[in-house]
A and B are shown apart, each in its own frame.
Chain A
């Protein structure tokens, strides 16, 4: 009886994440996808056809016939979308790289710190989350603008004679993304490094590795899982980021999040914005699935 109870319990535990994904990922995605196959209409909601059980089976079949991939075709015809995707990926890629370069030494330092300090250091990394994301991004405007904090201090110590134009350029976006997503990169890398057995480094040194070589041959490969996780946690949301490019980037910044927002709010073109979102998802999910498959295969080979 007890065994039965516990087996039901363990099944329930397994089901929970699937239910979650179904409710909050798959169903919304199906709805978005379905909207992307519709056409715009001046109506409420602003697209057609609208499915209704009242139409009966034949009505629904009729509605399904009206669905089409025209919006996806449209995305390929206007270069704007392609450029927006490309530029988003570029900006997100550069930001992810910068974040990694800054986060890795921080995570490494934290993992080397005395054990008693580590909880405090972790707290400090998470501390910025206690302030609203929006407020922190606005604060960057005050820092980066031509007469802002950064320029004033640089001018006053004489490093520069002209204010630097950072705000409303891609640099401001990089700074914003790096700053906002840094903890998401630090935490997985730290957790990978912290788990590492220090005697591995000693073993490498014992076998003739100077410290730097030991780092590249042992420490870094062993933290790779954390690096990959961190990069995904930064890259994926950064591609679709809207707030940071909108507030810090200039009007010429092309990012897919902004394009999507424009289609949705300014043009009220739900079907096209749904198509943009669907393609975005594909762009992000397909490489991840591919990557995971490769990793699983590599693991398999080691067996």
Chain B
């Protein structure tokens, strides 16, 4: 099999103004009574894209999927699928399959007939159905459970049946609502990669809802971060992580230290913030007005902790004191208390098995970071 990396690296239809989106949400609003679950949302998803919706519980992710599948009608706005407005198409005619958050397995059918349900509905020949079902069972590693009823399975097994059932028809668009939430870490990681393989092989478009940012980062070509029914940022995992466009996104994805300050100088691709423990000199295209308050977001692994002050005067530096240490195996996390009392989080890879004279509790240290290590966020 070809490595995914090469295919993926060159896959960026969203950057190409020529390419047409496969799914378009245009100014979609969904209200339940006077509660707005999805708020004037516009979003494009491209053919063969693995798209992830990420956001806190209740931010409208499932509602968005359900509108695409046809179970909810948008209060206003339109959804275009493959060049066609799908408002008038009933759910059973949409080329979209959904894996439900609650699994929705048919309790009176065996695992096998659950998975084959959609195929039988399409009138596929029996032999082909049996073959496809076997293939799906193998994919989700449930071969020996084919004859069981859903209530005789564990939560994780049920989830895999639901996944297999939604995949069996190979729809143009597959909607997955928390597809792997109930699986243990190992199986989950395996399944993530299998999903990615499958999506590549079959050339499908996947829209995945997840709570788990790591999962989204692993699988998705692009991620939409949602909050209160709105999309806050849509970008590739790397962009979302390295260049969050707001405090919310920076905070939501991964760990982050936010350093507050007021703008002292800005221009020529540089910004200088003062106030707090650092005078932050950063490379940034943001051009906030001088005197306004702004924040600098920096990830823990980009903060450096050392016993001696860095020699280079250009780097941003502050004194500090080790406040807390957490050894995580692959890395060690230090919480450093800065002179103002603010505690920042830094992490250091444990490249060696043993370190001579490791940094310990209450030690005086220097915290520093490079000019390109973080992003300036305007309020």
Secondary structure class of chain B's binding surface, majority of residues: loop
| Interface residue B149 (Cβ < 8 Å from any Cβ of A) | yes
8 A–B contacts from the bound complex (CB under 8 Å): A202-B69, A202-B71, A203-B105, A205-B91, A206-B70, A206-B96, A206-B97, A207-B118
| Interface residue A156 (Cβ < 8 Å from any Cβ of B) | no
What's the Cα separation between A62 and B59 when bound, in Å?
85
Whether A221 lies near B117 (C-beta < 8 A) is no
Q: Which 10 A-B pairs have the closest CB atoms?
A: A207-B118, A203-B104, A208-B121, A199-B104, A205-B91, A205-B92, A302-B149, A221-B108, A206-B98, A202-B71
Interface size on B, residues (CB 8 A): 28
| Interface residue A64 (Cβ < 8 Å from any Cβ of B) | no
| Interface residue B125 (Cβ < 8 Å from any Cβ of A) | no
Chain B neighbourhood of A200, CB < 8 A: 104, 106-107
**Chain A stretch 189-225: residues in CB contact (< 8 A) with chain B:** 197, 199-200, 202-211, 213-214, 218, 221-222
Whether B121 lies near A207 (C-beta < 8 A) is yes
Whether A207 lies near B107 (C-beta < 8 A) is no
Whether A302 lies near B152 (C-beta < 8 A) is yes
Q: Mark B258-302, 1 if CB is under 8 A from A, else 0.
A: 000000000000000000000000000000000000000000000
With A210-B92, A302-B148, A303-B152 in contact, is A222–B107 under 8 Å at CB?
yes
Chain A neighbourhood of B102, CB < 8 A: 197, 199
| Interface residue B16 (Cβ < 8 Å from any Cβ of A) | no
What's the Cα separation between A197 and B118 when bound, in Å?
19
Q: A204-B117, A211-B92, A222-B107 are in contact. List 16 more A-B contacts (CB 8 A).
A: A197-B104, A199-B100, A203-B98, A203-B104, A203-B105, A203-B165, A206-B96, A206-B97, A206-B166, A207-B92, A207-B165, A208-B122, A209-B121, A210-B90, A213-B121, A303-B148
Interface set of B (CB-CB < 8 Å, partner A): 69-71, 90-92, 96-98, 100, 102, 104-108, 110, 117-118, 121-122, 147-149, 152, 165-166, 169
Whether A202 lies near B92 (C-beta < 8 A) is no
Chain A neighbourhood of B117, CB < 8 A: 204, 207
Chain B neighbourhood of A210, CB < 8 A: 90, 92
Chain A neighbourhood of B169, CB < 8 A: 207-208
What's the Cα separation between A203 and B114 when bound, in Å?
10
What's the Cα separation between A207 and B169 when bound, in Å?
8
